[in-house]
Amino acid sequence: MPDDFAAQLTTWRHYLHARPELSRQERETAAFVCARLEELGIPYEAGIGGHGVVASLKRGGANRAVGLRADMDALPIPEATGKPYASRNQGVMHACGHDGHTTSLLGAAMLLQDDPDWSGQVHLVFQPAEEGFKGAHAMVKDGLFARFPMERIFGYHNWPGLETGTVMVHPGPVMAGAANFEITLKGRAGHAGMPHLCADPVQGIAQLIVAVNAIVARNLPPLQAGVISTCTLKAGEANNQVPERASMGGTIRAFSADAMALLKRRLAETAEGVAAAFGLEADIWIGGDLAPTANAPEAAELAAEAARNAGLKLRRDMEPTMGAEDFGRFLADVPGAYAWIGNGPSAGLHNPAYDYNDEILPVAARFLAACAKAALR
């Protein structure tokens, strides 16, 4: 590892942190990645699935190949860290650490480039639009695995609260699958003092919110996990009018495709039933699906082996989270593993005060490089 390795990675991350870009707008971030790859002499292709970049390292005569992935996009959150390298783009910040993920993948490229102890091909996948905009889907649709065949793929997410630099590898599910929903109940507007002349969608939506809370409890087996959360509510403008429409929106989470299908079906049926009971019409949209992120057992063992070989502290005992990640889309086509690397006692993800811990940049780079070497062996 170069003497100035950690300092170089920190400089790169601070540059990216100060210039966050929203999903599907990662032009400057992708250009930065391409510039660093050019400096390192690593060939790449840009514009894959939007602003995605894939670079390829090859060594020796082996024809095996593995992928390493990092996400690049930021969030529409005003930054409150007060750091000297804080966001220069008002209302946008790297509140999930994708600046660190991108930087550590560049670091892994540097380590692999200088390491003669491997043979094969490593594809470095810099993914755009992870934050709810299905950038992984776009890259796959654009021929990622056809253009860059790989036997396995690995990635990681920094994890606040987990001890700094500790690598957590799950044997199976890591993060939940997710879908979004928007339900609008349409009634008959009128004077609030004469509700008997109206069909009140506000009462209907209020009952639906309560009913939705029972779907998981009374439909999923008690030992299966699932969540339906109502997160938005819209109805009316005037205090003396029963509005024509009321709507609610939120998210569904589960660890299996079967559980997700059940929750989606019961949500739609419950909305239709409540609407009928109140004399309303229901307009139901459920979509934006993200597959669960579940590690392939063999790949999880390779990732754990890689952490040990890199001299990193390893844990295997943490439960998965109902947070979602579109890395699961890659895992639907190629077996792989997704780890957490401890960010230490920091603010939580998607918090205005969050910041990626620079101490784990070389740790994450070593882990990713070690995953590639373990898989290629």
pLDDT band of 61, cuts 50, 70, 90: confident
The token duo for 293 is: 């992120």
- How many angstroms separate the Cα of 356 from the Cα of each of 105, 141, 234, 345? 14, 30, 35, 11
Q: How far does the chain reach from its first CA to its final CA, in angstroms?
A: 21
Q: What's this model's pTM, rounded to 2 decimal places? A: 0.93
pLDDT score, position 360? 98
pLDDT band of 142, cuts 50, 70, 90: very high
Query: Does position 3 have pLDDT exceeding 80, yes or no?
Result: no
- Residues 182-211 have a mean pLDDT of 97
pLDDT score, position 40? 97
H and E: helices and strands count for the chain: 10, 16
- Residues 311-334 have a mean pLDDT of 97
The conformation of residue 320, written as its DSSP 8-state character, comes to P
- Residues 140-159 have a mean pLDDT of 98
CA distance 330 to 340: 17
pLDDT band of 75, cuts 50, 70, 90: very high
In degrees and rounded to multiples of 5, residue 58 shows phi and psi of -135, 140
Tell me whether strands 245-254 and 226-235 are parallel, antiparallel or unpaired: antiparallel
Strand extents, DSSP E, the chain? 44-48, 52-59, 65-71, 120-127, 152-160, 167-169, 173-186, 190-191, 226-235, 241-242, 245-254, 281-290, 293-294, 314-315, 321-324, 336-344
pLDDT score, position 2? 63
CA distance 336 to 331: 6
- Residues 226-246 have a mean pLDDT of 97
pLDDT score, position 1? 61
- Taken in order of first residue, the domains within the chain and their CATH numbers are 5-172+295-376 (3.40.630.10), 176-289 (3.30.70.360)
Among the listed residues 341, 342, 329, the one whose alpha carbon sits nearest the alpha carbon of residue 371: 341
Residue 235 β-bridge partners: 246
pLDDT score, position 50? 98
Q: What is the mean pLDDT of the chain?
A: 97
